[in-house]
């Protein structure tokens, strides 16, 4: 989320202080604990907030030429000091705040076009010039803009595309899973009382082999607001803002129209308020709940039938994810219910979402919003992006996504798969040989090589509500520095392989990947060992290179 909203005291702290000050904490907790549904929990907390006058106030978002002028001046300073990234960001901010129909709009586009030209983005430069001219760019300044346009037109054929180093992979038709939409036929979903639903190999899976390619059902941008589309999350240097708010920018009219139809018409008036309440981490849950509004009146029908294809593009799979409600404390459910009540209030008071809707619709919204707030932390995934600029590669988390099939993978502190992504599409890949009948394990952020067992178990218990009993925990696998290294020269990394990886080149990465697959197969049987860990890290680095975007800014 962006700047622009003053932070207010966290709503949870306000409610807890009120219950303590009125000596009603124990009695309310006792009554709250007995409530039978998510909807009743949210309604109970909402009534409490309303009764004590603690429902949040909706902040008014809007355009401001004064603010736009400030951003343009800061952009001018950064441009003069040749800081392309900062100047581009400030010119985009100037566009965000510019009042519709004023010179500020065209000035922002024209200034941004200069940054794009200087950094070899000639197509993007021409696009911004066109937008500046369409928005009544001051006549006295047009000759200078025309000169830039001609230069960009002459150079546009030499421009390199801003895209991933490799195209998004796909699973060949003959290898597609007949029962899982996004998976290969090398896996199946099984269920057991102790493991729940989980993913098992149906045949031998080799290191580097793709297991699944899943496009998110729902996603949200949580960072990089001024370089990534609010709707599709793609990198774009010519974003244009929503006409009404200062929090959403789009890469195309198609994305803008799709977003407005699906959710943004309701998010738009309240995004700044969500930011001020420090609830931006709940935007994913809110957007998902808004998207599936047609389900509110038929939640009892939201089931996956026996033998049905497990799909990534429908809501039934999301609704049937584990929320762990019974394992949650009263405090946990209360805090989430406070967030739900606050979001319900601002949505109902500042938008038309509940207009001409019946009581069942409102109950369905509350039920699903609190469900998503419980299921999300256990199942949703981050969206990260790798950028290469000036020879440096940096990984940045930019968003979050609901990925129904990837949520089926259980955790291990010594995983046998890894994930990498192309925007809202995430790929699961084996990092060691997985034999038929073996479970495929992801890692939820706690790896035995870098985190002590007690710390891992505490973290997993707190966020995911389970006591880890993976092979690394049961057998007390040591930290990386204490692992045994295999000194057979045939197993380890060579200087040539390390040099090839350090070059960061795509050709080198493809060659090294093949060698890593061969060597990992040789050392897997001695697991755990330091050599295997090193080889797996290089394999993952190869995959990261594949998804890297070369960026000029």
| pLDDT at position 1 over 80 | no
Tokens 């966290």 belong to 10
Burial class (CB in 10 A: 0-12, 13-18, 19+), 545: buried
Tokens 């040789």 belong to 522
Cβ atoms of residues 232 and 423 within 8 Å? yes
Write out pLDDT tens, residues 223-237.
999 999 999 999 999
Cα separation, 12 vs 18, in Å, equals 10
| pLDDT at position 8 over 50 | no
Predicted confidence band of residue 387 (pLDDT cuts 50, 70, 90): confident
Task: Tell me, rounded to whole angstroms, the distance of Cα 336 from its chain centroid.
Answer: 20
169: helix, strand or coil: coil
Cα separation, 283 vs 271, in Å, equals 9
Residues β-bridged to residue 195: none
Return the pLDDT at 508: 87
Cβ atoms of residues 405 and 310 within 8 Å? yes
Instruction: Provide the phi-psi class of 177: left if phi over 0, else alpha when psi is between -120 and 50, else beta.
Output: beta
177-191, 296-310, 463-477: the lowest-pLDDT one? 296-310
Predicted confidence band of residue 180 (pLDDT cuts 50, 70, 90): very high
Report the helix count and the strand count for the chain, using DSSP H and E.
20, 13
| pLDDT at position 7 over 50 | no
Task: Using alpha carbons only, give the angle 377, 313, 167 rounded to the nearest 5 degrees.
Answer: 90
Q: Can you tell me the mean pLDDT for 189-213?
A: 96
Please give the DSSP secondary-structure letter assigned to residue 318: H
| pLDDT at position 428 over 90 | yes
Residue by residue, DSSP assigns 57-90 as PPPPP---HHHHHHHHHHHHHHHHTT-HHHHHHH
Element (H, E) at 124: helix 122-134
pTM for this model (two decimals): 0.94
Task: Using alpha carbons only, give the angle 118, 120, 124 rounded to the nearest 5 degrees.
Answer: 95
Beta carbons within 8 Å of 318's beta carbon, 6+ residues apart = 217, 218, 288, 292, 375, 402, 404
Cα separation, 96 vs 264, in Å, equals 16
Nearest Cα to 272, choosing from 401, 99, 97, 71? 97
Cα end-to-end span (Å), the chain: 20
Instruction: Provide the phi-psi class of 195: left if phi over 0, else alpha when psi is between -120 and 50, else beta.
Output: alpha
């Amino acid at each position: 989320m962006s700047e622009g909203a003053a932070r207010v005291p966290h709503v949870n702290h306000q409610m807890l202080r009120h219950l303590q000050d009125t000596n009603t904490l124990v009695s309310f907790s006792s009554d709250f604990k007995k409530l039978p549904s998510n909807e009743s929990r949210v309604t109970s907390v909402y009534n409490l907030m309303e009764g004590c006058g603690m429902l949040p106030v909706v902040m008014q978002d809007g355009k401001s030429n004064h603010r736009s002028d400030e951003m343009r001046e800061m952009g001018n300073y950064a441009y003069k000091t040749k800081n392309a990234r900062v100047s581009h960001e400030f010119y985009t901010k100037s566009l965000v705040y510019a009042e519709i129909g004023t010179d500020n709009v065209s000035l922002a586009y024209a200034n941004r076009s200069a940054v794009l030209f200087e950094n070899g983005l000639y197509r993007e430069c021409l696009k911004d010039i066109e937008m500046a001219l369409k928005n009544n760019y001051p006549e006295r300044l047009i000759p200078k803009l025309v000169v830039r346009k001609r230069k960009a037109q002459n150079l546009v054929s030499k421009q390199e595309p801003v895209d991933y180093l490799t195209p998004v992979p796909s699973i060949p038709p003959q290898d597609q899973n007949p029962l899982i939409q996004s998976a290969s036929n090398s896996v199946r979903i099984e269920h057991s009382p102790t493991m729940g639903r989980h993913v098992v190999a149906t045949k031998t899976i080799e290191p580097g082999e793709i297991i699944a390619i899943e496009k998110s059902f729902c996603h949200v941008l949580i960072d990089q607001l001024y370089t990534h589309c609010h709707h599709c999350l793609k990198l774009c240097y010519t974003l244009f803002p929503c006409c009404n708010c200062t929090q959403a920018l789009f890469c195309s009219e198609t994305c803008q129209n799709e977003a407005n139809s699906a959710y943004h018409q309701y998010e738009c008036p309240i995004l700044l308020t969500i930011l001020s309440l420090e609830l931006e981490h709940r935007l994913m849950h809110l957007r998902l709940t808004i998207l599936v509004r047609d389900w509110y009146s038929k939640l009892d029908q939201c089931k996956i039938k026996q033998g049905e294809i497990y799909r990534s593009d429908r809501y039934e799979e999301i609704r049937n994810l584990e929320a762990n409600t019974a394992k949650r404390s009263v405090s946990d459910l209360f805090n989430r219910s406070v967030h739900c009540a606050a979001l319900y209030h601002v949505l109902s008071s500042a938008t038309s979402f509940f207009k001409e809707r019946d009581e069942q619709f409102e109950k369905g919204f509350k039920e699903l919003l609190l469900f998503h707030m419980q299921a999300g932390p256990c199942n949703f995934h981050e969206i990260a992006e790798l950028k290469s600029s000036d020879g440096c590669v940096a990984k940045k988390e930019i968003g979050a996504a609901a990925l129904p099939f990837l949520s089926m993978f259980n955790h291990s502190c010594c995983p046998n798969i890894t994930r990498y992504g192309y925007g809202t599409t995430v790929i699961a890949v084996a990092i060691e040989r997985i034999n038929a009948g073996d479970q495929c394990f992801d890692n939820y952020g706690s790896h035995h090589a870098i985190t002590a067992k007690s710390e891992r178990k505490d973290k997993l218990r707190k966020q995911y509500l389970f006591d880890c009993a993976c092979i690394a925990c049961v057998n007390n696998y040591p930290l990386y520095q204490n692992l045994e290294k295999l000194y057979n020269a045939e197993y380890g990394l060579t200087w040539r392989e390390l040099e090839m990886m350090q070059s960061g080149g795509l050709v080198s990465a493809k060659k090294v990947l093949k060698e890593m697959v061969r060597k990992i197969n040789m050392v897997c049987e001695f697991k755990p060992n330091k050599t295997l860990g090193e080889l797996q890290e290089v394999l993952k680095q190869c995959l990261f290179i594949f998804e890297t975007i070369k960026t000029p800014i």
